[in-house]
Amino acid sequence: MQFTTGVIVRGIYLVALKGNLLVIILALLDHHLHTPIYFFLMNLSVLDLGFISFTVPKSVANSRLNTWSISYAGCVTQVFLCISFTAVDFAFVTIMAYDRYVAICQSLHYEMIMNRRACVQMAASAWITGILLFILYTGNTFAITFCGGNMVGQLYCEIPQILKLACSDLYLGETVVISFNIFLGLSCFGFIIVSYIQIFKTVLRIPSEQGRHKAFST
């Protein structure tokens, strides 16, 4: 049973790996895809590669070796990558919603607003935001004193499991950081919702059915 599960997980991992690599290669080599939306999609594929590469291979290897412990350094690395990639993922989905808003609601100014420099700046801001959130969250989480060891007895390192090993009181710090993350996530979600509401309102005002269909496909 364990062997079959491992084979299925590896198969899914390889499919996801090839699919994301294909998106990245096509976005780089095909000049027709050198547009803002495909630039952002390429970044999302890089994020997906990161997500699956820092979790799946390690979990499969630990499962095969029947090892259920993660070292301190490995735990820090997993938390760093998970928080960073999650924050960057939220940022890129928000940026892509804005890109579609400009493409439909301000189509005449699209090339001026979503120029190459602006796209690079937005992408860089997304990555930097993820790194800053890692410094804030991970630094606060790992500035703790462990009681009787720092080995997490599971395949994946999660913040709640780490906090169970802590001797120091982290309630206030964790509350502040979690509240900030919730605020950031809700802000991104709200921006996406507002963007698509404006998009649908603009599309529905288009008089011709062909024009509406083209706008929706965009």
Any idea what the CATH number is for the domain that residue 187 is in? 1.20.1070.10
CB pairs under 8 A, 24+ apart, for 14-20? 16/48, 16/52, 17/49, 17/52, 17/53, 20/45, 20/46, 20/48, 20/49
What tokens does 143 get?
């500035």
Residue predicted with more confidence, 154 or 182: 182
Q: Are 92 and 170 in contact (CB under 8 A)?
A: no
* 19 vs 49: CA distance, rounded Å: 10
Backbone φ, ψ for residue 158 (5° rounding):
-120, 150
Q: Is the pLDDT of residue 156 over 70?
A: no
pTM of the model: 0.79
Per-residue pLDDT tens over the stretch 171-203: 556 666 677 778 888 888 999 999 999 988 888
Q: Are 138 and 76 in contact (CB under 8 A)?
A: yes
Strand-pair partners of 166: 146
Tokens 């590896």 belong to which residue?
A: 10
Number of domains in the chain: 1
Task: Domain of residue 152: give its range.
Answer: 2-217
Residue predicted with more confidence, 200 or 62: 200
* 192 vs 168: CA distance, rounded Å: 39
